[in-house]
Amino acid sequence: MSNLNAVTKQVMWNRLISVVEEQAQALIRTAFSTAVREAGDLSAGVYDNSGKMLAQAVTGTPGHVNAMAASVAHFIRRIGKQNMHEGDVYITNDPWEGTGHLHDITVVSPSFFNGKLIGFFASTSHVVDIGGRGFGADAASVYEEGLYIPIMKLIDKGKVDNAFVHIVRGNVREPDQVVGDIFALATCNGIGHDRLVEMMQEFQLADLNEIAEFILENSRLATLERIAALPNNKATGEMTIDGYDNPIDLKVAISIDDDKVLCDFAGSSGLDKKGINVPLVYSQAYACYALKCAIAPEIPNNAASLAPFVITAPENCILNALRPAPVALRHVVGQLIPDAVYNALDKVLPNTVPAEGSSTLCNFQLSVRPRTDQKPPQDARRGEVLTFNSGGAGARPTKDGLSATAFPSGVMTMPVEATEHAGPVVIWRKELRPDSGGIGKYRGGLGQFMEVSATEGHEFDFQAMFDRVNHPARGRQGGGDGASTVIKRSDGSAMKGKGKQFVPHGQKVLLEFPGGAGYGPVAERSQELIERDFARGYITEESAKRDYGLSEEKIEEVKTSISKGEPI
pLDDT digits (tens, 9 = 90+) for 454-510: 999 999 999 999 999 999 999 999 999 999 999 999 999 999 999 999 999 999 999
Instruction: Provide the 3-class DSSP secondary structure of residue 241.
Output: strand
Q: Does pLDDT of 77 surpass 70?
A: yes
- Would residue 333 count as lying in a domain? no
The predicted pLDDT at position 564 comes to 82
Structurally, the chain folds into a number of domains equal to 2
- Would residue 289 count as lying in a domain? no
Neighbours of 369 (CB within 10 A): 17
Q: Helices 62-79 and 280-295 sit at what angle, rounded to 10 degrees?
A: 130
- Would residue 535 count as lying in a domain? no
Q: Which of 171, 199, 220 is the last residue of a domain?
A: 220
Instruction: Provide the 3-class DSSP secondary structure of residue 549.
Output: coil
The predicted pLDDT at position 2 comes to 56
Q: Report d(CA 568, CA 565) in Å as an integer.
A: 9
Where is pLDDT greater, at 520 or 558?
Answer: 520
Confidence of residue 65 (pLDDT cuts 50, 70, 90): confident
Residue 364, burial from CB neighbour count under 10 angstroms (0-12, 13-18, 19+)? buried
- Would residue 11 count as lying in a domain? yes
- Would residue 347 count as lying in a domain? no
**Residue-range definition of the domain harbouring residue 488:** 354-525
The predicted pLDDT at position 542 comes to 96
Co-location of 63 and 212 in the same domain: yes
Q: Report d(CA 385, CA 426) in Å as an integer.
A: 11
DSSP 218: H
- Would residue 454 count as lying in a domain? yes
Selection from 27, 23, 22 nearest residue 41 by Cα: 27
- C-alpha gyration radius of the chain: 24
Selection from 532, 126, 530, 152 nearest residue 328 by Cα: 126
- Would residue 262 count as lying in a domain? no
Q: What is the pLDDT of residues 294-343, one digit of tens each?
A: 999 999 999 999 999 999 999 999 999 999 999 999 999 999 999 999 99
Label residue 79 left, alpha or beta by phi (over 0 means left) and psi (-120 to 50 means alpha): alpha
Q: What is the pLDDT of residues 330-384, one digit of tens each?
A: 999 999 999 999 999 999 999 999 999 999 999 999 999 999 999 999 999 999 9
- Would residue 326 count as lying in a domain? no
Q: Report d(CA 48, CA 19) in Å as an integer.
A: 14
Instruction: Provide the 3-class DSSP secondary structure of residue 33.
Output: coil
Q: Does pLDDT of 1 surpass 60?
A: no
Mean pLDDT of 426-452: 98
Co-location of 189 and 46 in the same domain: yes
The predicted pLDDT at position 60 comes to 83
What DSSP line would sit under 305-349, residue for residue? HHTTEEEE--TTBTTSPPTTS--TTHHHHHTTHHHHHHHHHHHHS
Mean pLDDT of 391-409: 97
Q: Which of 40-44, 139-143, 147-151, 167-171 has the lowest mean pLDDT?
A: 40-44
